[in-house]
Amino acid sequence: MAVSLETLRLEAPSTGTVEWRLSDASVGYEDAVAYMQKRAAAIAAGEAPEQIWLLEHPPLYTAGTSADEGDLTEPDRFPVHKTGRGGQYTYHGPGQRVAYVMLNVKERGGDIRCFVRGLEKWLIDTLDTFNVKGERREGRVGVWVDRGLKEDKVAALGIRVSRGVSYHGISFNVDPDLTHYEGIVPCGITAHGVTSLVDLGHPVSMSDVDAALRASFENIFGHTVTVGS
């Protein structure tokens, strides 16, 4: 039976809390992946608590496991990183909040499709904080906004699950340079574009978004505790 987005909750049955980590300095992509892999393994082994890691990357493109090389239209524009997450090509860079999600999916029910719906609901609820209606679309992962004559993606997600623990995560466009998406076909979709909160007329700060992300996350996935960067 389908799970209602309005009632979806994915709190872990354990009494543990999720660490909430924020890095102020830009983080290199390979360094971030190495950290996530090590942390996910520690979570799976019961040696570390779950963690959400908020950061920004320097300008770069990533290629997911379903990436089509033809969708990389400007291969020399920014560094390109092949990655083990699901999905196709996407962009990361300044003005975009990346949240890496290292959660024990197995302990939260083990249903990966339900887990992904929970991540989408997290983004939709965060957008609602700023009076922006985010929507899901069948066959298109991520969160979209209807702009009348067109639909644009405002947030993307792609995860990998290893030994029951997720890593990689979501990217939320606050105020990135949207022209940087011109070097790829984002997520392999040509019929729609990309946008950001600022592009939609909501000049919010990154700290405003971080606060909204945390509040929306806790409503779905449970309590968080702040840890150092």
Tell me the catalytic residues.
187
State the DSSP code for 3.
P
Q: Where are the alpha helices (DSSP H) in the chain?
A: 29-44, 112-129, 206-221
Using an 8 Å Cβ cutoff, are 144 and 167 in contact? Answer: no
Nearest in space to 213 (alpha carbons), one of 112, 98, 58: 98
CA distances from 207 to 75, 96, 155 (A): 32, 12, 17
The residue behind tokens 């990533």 is 62
User: Distance between CA atoms of 184 and 206, rounded to whole angstroms?
Assistant: 25
Nearest in space to 214 (alpha carbons), one of 197, 95, 222: 222
